[in-house]
Structure 1
Amino acid sequence: MKLKSLLVGLGLLAGIGGAHAADDPFKVGFVYVGPVGDLGWSYEHDRGRQELEKFFGDKVETTFVENVPEGADAERVITQLAKSGNDLIFSTSFGFMNPTLKVAKRFPNVTFEHATGYKRSKNMGTYVLRTYEGRYVSGVAAGLLTKTNTIGYIGSFPIPEVIRDINSAYMAAKSVNPDVKIKIVWVNSWYDPGKETDAANALMDQGVDVLLQHTDSPAPLIAAEKRGARAIGQASDQSSFAPKAHIFSVRDDWAPYYIKVTQEVMDGTYEPKDFWGGFHEDMLSLASINENLPTDVRAKIDETYEKIKSGEFKPFTGPIKDNKGNIVVAEGHSLSDEELAKVNWYVEGITDEIPR
C-alpha cells in the first residue's frame, strides 16, 4: 500500500492543520540514539520525519537531535526540546523510555511518543514495529540458505524486543531446517560499525554462513560480502553494500505513523496508546530481494511474508517451549501485544543464556 492510500484509509488527507494557527507552525521534535547516517534505525526514523514535513508543508516545523546517549543525556535533550516550544516529541530508542516519562510529567501540555517502550501516561504514548515478523521471514531464508546449518545473530542489548526477534528468527529457521543451530554475539550498542564487524567475523569464524543483526550499520553485510557468506539488512535497504551477500533487507517505514499522530495532536483527538505496526500496515517490508536466490527459497520467502501479512500465520503461536523445557506459549494461543512486550526467555533449541 502506498503512503497516500494508507493515509486516505486513516482519514488524514483532509483538514490538515487542525486548530493550530496558520501562521504558527506546529512543532515536532525527534530524538535519535544514532546518527541519521547510520543507514539503519535512525536513518529510517529521520526519513519518516522528512516525509512528515513533506506531507504537511509549512504547517509543521520539525527538528531532530542525533547521537543521543540513553540515560541522563537523553533527559536533558528531551527537556530542551520541550522548553523550545515543541508541541510533540518522538523519542526513538528503548533506553529513552524513563527519561521521556520524567519529562512528560514536567510538561503536561506537550505530547510525547516513545518508540519500543511500554510506559505510558496522560500525555505519552508508545509505538513499536512488529520487527519479529521480519525476523521470521529472515529466519526462513537463513534456514534454507545455510550450508553449515549454523546461522548467526548480532544482538544489541538483551531487551524484550531483541530477545523476541532472536526467538522468531530461530523458530523460523528451525521450521524449514530441523538441524539448524544459532550462535549469538552481543555488542551492547545499537550502532558501532567496528564492534559489528568484529561480531560478524567472530560468528563466521565459528562456522556461521548466514548473518542476521539487530544493530544498525551495514558493517555485518560488508563483512559477509568479503567472506562469501550471506546476510540480511537491518531497518533500511542495505543491498548496495553487499550485492552478492545480501538476501533482502527488512525495511522500516515510520512515516504513516508520524503523520497520523501529528494530525491527531493537531486536531485535539490524540489519546495515548500502545501502537504496533508491521507487514499488514505496510510499515515493514522486504526490500531488494536478491535475484541470485534459488527459486524455491524465493517462493518460500514470498509465501511466509504473505501469510504473516494477511494474519493467516502469527509467529508466536503455541505450543512453544523455552530452552529450559517449560511451556511458555500454550497450544493454540498467540501471544498478545502485552505478552510480546515481556518476552524474556529463549525458545527451545537455543543453547545460550540471556545476559542479565
Structure 2
Amino acid sequence: MKRRTLLAAVAAAATLTGASAWAEAEVTAGFIYIGTPGDGGWTYEHDQSRRKMEAHFDGKVKTIFQENVPESADAERAITQMAIAGADIIFTTSFGYMDPTLAVAEKFPNVKFEHATGYKRSDNVSTYSARFYEGRAVQGHIAGHMTKTNKIGYIASFPIPEVIRGINSAYIHAKKVNPDVEFSVVWAYTWFDPAKEADAARALIENGADVILQHTDSTAPQAAAKEAGNVITFGQASDMADYAPHPRVSSIIDNWAPYYIARVQAVLDGSWESVDTWDGIDTGMVEIGEITDAVPAEVKESALAMVEAIRTGEYSPFTGPLNKQDGSAWLAEGEVADLGTLAGMSFYVEGITDEIPN
C-alpha cells in the first residue's frame, strides 16, 4: 500500500468525524504510523485507540494520521508537515521516530509530542511505552507447556532493549515449565514486512520449531504456521482473533486508548507536561487475549494465575535467581530486576545460545 498523504488522512478523518464536528474541535491530534491500520497488529491497535479517543471527546478533538512512514529522514518530514498542518499534539508511534521527534519538537515548541517506546524527552516531548515483557512471560509459560519438539522460534524486529526484554521474559518462563526447551531467534530487521516475517517463520519451522513467537507486526507468521500445520502462534500487539483457535492460542493486546484520552485531555485542560509512562497489565495497557481451547485447561488456569499475580504486583517476570548468558550472576533468589536495568537491557539470560547482533 502506498503511503497515505497527510491531505488524504485529513480528508479521511473529516469523513469520520463529520464537518460540523471539525468546526467545533478545540484540539487537533496527529498520529504518525510505521505501518498501515490494516496490519492487524501494532498500527491497527494504535489506530483503534485513536478512533476511541476521538469518539470519547465527541467533536472536541479531531485527528489526522499518516501511515507507512519509514524510520528515516521521511519521518522528520512527515512530523514537520503534521505540525505545520496545525496539530496541537502529535503521537509518533514507533521507536525509530525518536530522534526525528526531538528534532521537530525543537522547531515547534508550542506543539506537544508523545513518542512511543523511546527514552529521550524534552520540555514538549513525552515518552510512553507498555511492559510488553509481562505478556511475553505468559506466552512463554504457555509455549513451554505446549511445545512437543521442545523448540520455540522467535521472530524479532530490531536488537533494542524492548525486544531483548521480551525474548528473555518468554525464555525464562518457557524454561521454568520445560527445562528441555530451546529458543531460536531470527532477526527480521523490520517492524512490518509480511514477506520477511513469513520467511522467518518458515525457517524456524523447518528447523523444528512447533511454537512461534513474534515481535513484528503482521499476521504473516500465523499464515505460515497454518500452512505448516501443528504449529501454534500468539497474536502480537492485537488479538488477531480471526486466527483462533488454531494456530493462534492467545495474544498480547496493546490498549493505548486510555493513555491517548488522558494526554489529549491534558492538552484541553492546559495541564499537559512532559512525562515518562511505562505501564503494563496492572493498568490495562497490556492485555492478554483470550486463551483458546487449544490450550489444555490446567495450562490455561496457571497462565491466568500468572496474569493475576503480575496485575496485583505479587509477581514480577524478572525475579531471581537469574544469571546472564555468560553465566555471571545477575539476580539472587527472590531479587527483582530494577527498572533501569530492564529499560536498557542489552544481554540475554543464561540458557539462550543465540547471540544478540551488534
User: Is this a same-fold pair by TM over 0.5?
Assistant: yes
- Cα displacement (A) at 1:127: 0.3
User: Secondary structure of the residue that 1:139 maps to in structure 2?
Assistant: helix
Q: Would you say the 8 A contact 2:319–2:333 is kept in 1?
A: yes
Q: 1:326 aligns with which of 325, 328, 338?
A: 328
User: Secondary structure of the residue that 2:152 maps to in structure 1?
Assistant: strand
Question: Is residue 260 from structure 1 mapped to residue 265 from structure 2 by the alignment?
Answer: no
Question: Is residue 181 from structure 1 mapped to residue 182 from structure 2 by the alignment?
Answer: yes
Aligned residue runs from structure 1 range 104-183, under 5 A: 104-183=105-184
Greater Cα offset, 266-275 or 199-208: 266-275
Question: Is residue 91 from structure 1 mapped to residue 92 from structure 2 by the alignment?
Answer: yes
CA distance in 2, matches of 1:239, 1:330: 39
User: Secondary structure of the residue that 1:235 maps to in structure 2?
Assistant: coil
CA distance in 2, matches of 1:92, 1:41: 9
User: Secondary structure of the residue that 2:141 maps to in structure 1?
Assistant: helix
- Cα displacement (A) at 1:57: 1.3
- Cα displacement (A) at 1:292: 2.4
- Cα displacement (A) at 1:266: 1.6
Report the equivalent of 2:28: 27
- Cα displacement (A) at 1:24: 4.8
- CA deviation vs aligned residue, 1:195-249 (integer Å, no higher than 9, x gap): 1111111001111001100011111112112222111110111131353211111
- Cα displacement (A) at 1:319: 3.1
TM-score w.r.t. the length of structure 2 is 0.91
CA RMSD after TM alignment: 1.4
CA distance in 2, matches of 1:192, 1:198: 10
Aligned residue runs from structure 1 range 233-248, under 5 A: 233-248=235-250
User: Secondary structure of the residue that 1:231 maps to in structure 2?
Assistant: strand
Q: Would you say the 8 A contact 2:25–2:62 is kept in 1?
A: no
Q: Would you say the 8 A contact 1:125–1:272 is kept in 2?
A: yes
Q: Would you say the 8 A contact 1:33–1:66 is kept in 2?
A: yes
Report the equivalent of 2:3: none
Question: Is residue 74 from structure 1 mapped to residue 75 from structure 2 by the alignment?
Answer: yes
User: Secondary structure of the residue that 2:236 maps to in structure 1?
Assistant: strand
User: Secondary structure of the residue that 1:185 maps to in structure 2?
Assistant: strand
CA distance in 2, matches of 1:97, 1:284: 22
Equivalent AA in structure 2 for residue 55 of structure 1: H
CA distance in 2, matches of 1:297, 1:183: 23
Report the equivalent of 2:19: none
- CA deviation vs aligned residue, 1:314-349 (integer Å, no higher than 9, x gap): 012233211111223355442333322100000100
Question: Is residue 346 from structure 1 mapped to residue 348 from structure 2 by the alignment?
Answer: yes
Aligned residue runs from structure 1 range 289-300, under 5 A: 289-300=291-302
CA distance in 1, matches of 2:211, 2:253: 19
User: Secondary structure of the residue that 1:28 maps to in structure 2?
Assistant: strand
Equivalent AA in structure 2 for residue 145 of structure 1: M
Greater Cα offset, 100-109 or 238-247: 238-247
Report the equivalent of 1:14: none
Report the equivalent of 1:194: 195
User: Secondary structure of the residue that 1:62 maps to in structure 2?
Assistant: strand
User: Secondary structure of the residue that 1:269 maps to in structure 2?
Assistant: coil
Equivalent AA in structure 2 for residue 239 of structure 1: A
Question: Is residue 224 from structure 1 mapped to residue 225 from structure 2 by the alignment?
Answer: yes
Equivalent AA in structure 2 for residue 122 of structure 1: D
Q: 1:277 aligns with which of 273, 276, 279?
A: 279
CA distance in 1, matches of 2:347, 2:257: 32
- Cα displacement (A) at 1:285: 1.4
Q: Are residues 137 and 24 of structure 1, via their aligned partners in 2, closer, same or farther at CA, if it must alter by over 3 Å?
A: closer
Q: Would you say the 8 A contact 1:142–1:210 is kept in 2?
A: yes
The percent of aligned pairs where both chains have the same amino acid is 54
Report the equivalent of 1:103: 104
Greater Cα offset, 27-36 or 296-305: 296-305
Structure 2 alignment gaps of length 5 or more: 1-22
Q: Would you say the 8 A contact 1:222–1:242 is kept in 2?
A: no
Q: Would you say the 8 A contact 1:108–1:123 is kept in 2?
A: yes
Report the equivalent of 2:20: none
- Cα displacement (A) at 1:312: 0.5
TM-score w.r.t. the length of structure 1 is 0.92
Report the equivalent of 2:309: 307
CA distance in 2, matches of 1:335, 1:269: 33
User: Secondary structure of the residue that 1:105 maps to in structure 2?
Assistant: helix
- CA deviation vs aligned residue, 1:127-172 (integer Å, no higher than 9, x gap): 0011000000000000000011111100011111000100000001
